[in-house]
Amino acid sequence: MITTDFVPGSPCWIDLGARDVPAAAAFYNAVFGWEAHPFGDEPSDYKALRLDGKVVGAIGPLTEEGARSAWMVYFHTRDIEATVKAVEQAGGSVRTPPSEASEEGRFAQLTDPQDAQFAVWQPGSYPGIEVADSPGSLSWVELYTNDSSAARDFYGTVFGWTGQDMELPGGGGTYTMLTPKDHPPERMFGGLMAVPGMFESGDAKPYWHPVFGSADCDATVARVRQNGGAVSMGPEDAEGVGRLAVCNDPAGAEFVVLTPAPPA
């Protein structure tokens, strides 16, 4: 589960890089009820997304040349220079070196050896998201990759994550569930899996996406469609997980909607 008690290597922040910030904000407001507000008194295109007054993430304009609209997952670090160095030594690359976000903290934008993008956050005055693992908030993160073994080794080296493999039903492959270093399975926050055929053409590259909780997956998916989004899978039931659907916002940014299965 994702919590707001952040530990090294755990997801602590998400933001959406959007081609049209007002349009994207309107879509997510209609789907999840999020409200976009400035972080402070100064005007900025980078806005907090709030649900019932609590920050669930942020939205801002695309800043990298050639970038597509997508969600970015940030992982907590206590030493951003050491983490960036570990990324480079493990074969990853740095897109944005450690940078200041005023007194709130420092961030860096990174890429793993399979070309999946992610980021890290070293908090100053601002730890990260204010609510998690509930309807309308971040509840899980996933990496779709072309080499799950290499991805597991890379992130294990950088963050010390431990992985627990689970065979998917119907011969769907292996799903590796991820836990922060030196923490129990109850702190699992995400998973990674190889997706055969998805990246062979070169038109797509491995990527992280967020999973947002929902009290009613089907109703949330209906709002996605009603507001110009699309659904590439589901809604469908996953045994032991819940009811889920893979969705895209109108600009193509992918996310998953999940209504968790009731406790056994």
- The pair of structure tokens assigned to 214 is 């929902």
> Percent of the chain having pLDDT more than 90?
81
Phi, psi angles (nearest 5°) of residue 221: -65, -35
pTM: 0.96
Band (98; pLDDT cuts 50, 70, 90):
very high
Q: Which amino acid is at 9?
A: G
Per-domain residue ranges of the chain: 1-264
Looking at residue 264, its pLDDT comes to 65
14 burial via Cβ count (<10 Å: 0-12, 13-18, 19+): buried
Residue 122 has pLDDT above 70, yes or no: yes
Interval 32-81: pLDDT, tens:
999 999 887 666 889 999 999 999 999 999 877 777 899 999 999 999 99
Looking at residue 202, its pLDDT comes to 67
Looking at residue 45, its pLDDT comes to 87
Looking at residue 244, its pLDDT comes to 96
Give residues with Cβ within 8 angstroms of 218, minimum separation 6: 235, 243
Residue 227 has pLDDT above 80, yes or no: yes
Q: Which region, left, alpha or beta, applies to residue 241 given φ > 0 means left and ψ of -120 to 50 means alpha?
A: alpha
Across 144-160, average pLDDT: 96
For the chain, report the end-to-end CA distance as a whole number of angstroms: 16
Looking at residue 168, its pLDDT comes to 79
> Percent of the chain having pLDDT more than 70?
97
Looking at residue 41, its pLDDT comes to 67
Interval 195-218: pLDDT, tens:
877 776 667 899 999 999 999 999
CATH for 1-264? 3.10.180.10
What string of DSSP letters covers 65-116?
Answer: TTPPSEEEEEEE-S-HHHHHHHHHHTT-EEEEEEEEETBTEEEEEEE-TTS-
Looking at residue 56, its pLDDT comes to 98
Mean pLDDT of the chain: 93
Give residues with Cβ within 8 angstroms of 222, minimum separation 6: none
